[in-house]
A and B are shown apart, each in its own frame.
Chain A
Amino acid sequence: MASVETQFRSISYIVLIVTLVTGFLLGGSYIIVRQRFSSLENTRKKLISQLNAQSTKESMFIALKDRIAILDKVFVMLRPLATTLDTTTSIAAPPLLTSLTYEDQGRMVVMVRTPSIDEALTVVGAVSTLAADQQLRVPQLQSLSMDKDGSIRLSVSFYPVF
């Protein structure tokens, strides 16, 4: 009986000490963490207040970044058509060149009227040369007809290389 009592006494003291020590440690930790949390919360509120004072600048900066992103996308799809016109006139200049059309999908259709078949062949040769130089791609002869006066009407399409 006495030995059981001694064992229980030892166990109860150990449990009590462990509980008290753990309690103090936990209590201390809670106070420290709570203080840190409060301090951070105060800092956050102060920073938000300071950021709100900068809200106009922030709005402008966000609008600026948004517009830059849009412009980057728009710049990619812009095409320098003046150089395409130069390419076309190098194939056939007026008065041989009668019309040209740059289509939505990027295809250029050129209508040429030449007084003879030889000049028509020169035009076709010029298109082939430019295609070989990779200044244009997918050249196609769309139509070829001869008028009563012997002049040749020629329609050529290609995709300019930008």
Chain B
Amino acid sequence: MASVQHIIRPYKNLATYVGIILSCAVAIIFGLFPVYRTTRDLYFQSTDLSQKVTKLKEKLRMLQGLDEDIVRDQLLSLIAAIPQEKSIPTLFTTVEGVSAQAGVTVSEISFAAGGPLATEAAKRQTIEEKKLGVTILPFTLSMEGELNTIRSFLDIASNVRRIFRIREFTLTIPETGVPKSQVEIDGFFSPFPASIADVSETLAPLTQKEEETVAKVNAIPLTSSAQLESIPISALPPKADPFSP
């Protein structure tokens, strides 16, 4: 035993130094390196989070700067042009209003679209509908009137808040009697977006061009005050995350 101690004693200090070096190596491998990795990951996460916070701040500032009543009025105005549902009554009142203003006699209105029994989900959209982002509601209108009144109808119909597109138009002028016309008209409707984007998505204010579009729609006359309906909250796009507070 004494001989072993005799052999070890000269290496006692050296062993201590080697022990320190090995302890440091262990501390670096199992302590410092994981801490470094965690800190680095946390730094990158913080950078991402900082960008998200900046976007959220901008979005909040933008939303706080908006007047809810003005946005509501603008939306109502645009819904009167293209409603969020078929809104057949406003279609009828608009056609009535336009024909009364023009002085033509409407003899028939017929809808070619599938009845209300078909759900919108079941109905396939055409390429044009997909392109425009609307559902087209085609109907045929037969009317009678002098040429100037029919012209007036076409003029007013192209400038009325419930927006129509005259797809086809036939005018027959008999030798005797009143000119008759058959008009294939497309009405439009488009439901609100199914959901709003993620809360962190940026929201840009209205551009100059968008403001112009709103102004253009506002300048189009309404045929009936009943066209400006209130917006039910349930019809608005729901939150992206229904579980968010």
Contact = CB atoms under 8 A, between A and B. Distances in A.
Contact of B53 (A43, A80, A85, A99): A43
Contacts of A78: 158, 163, 165
Interface of A is mostly: helix
Contacts of B231: 60
B14 A54 contact: no
What's the interface size class on B, roughly? 35 or more
Given A33-B42, A63-B237, A74-B132, A54 B71 contact: no
A79 B36 contact: no
Nearest to B132: A73
Contact of B166 (A34, A47, A58, A81): A81
Contacts, number: 228
Given A71-B213, A101-B169, 17 more contacts: A5-B14, A33-B46, A36-B46, A41-B49, A44-B53, A47-B53, A51-B199, A54-B64, A60-B231, A61-B63, A62-B197, A63-B75, A70-B132, A70-B190, A78-B158, A95-B175, A97-B173
Interface of B: 10, 13-14, 16-18, 20-21, 24-25, 27-28, 31-32, 35-36, 38-39, 42-43, 45-46, 49-50, 52-53, 56-57, 59-60, 63-64, 66, 68, 71-72, 74-75, 78-79, 81-82, 131-134, 147, 150-152, 154-155, 158, 163, 165-173, 175, 179, 184, 188, 190, 192-193, 196-197, 199, 203, 206, 209-210, 213-214, 216-217, 231, 233, 236-239, 244-245
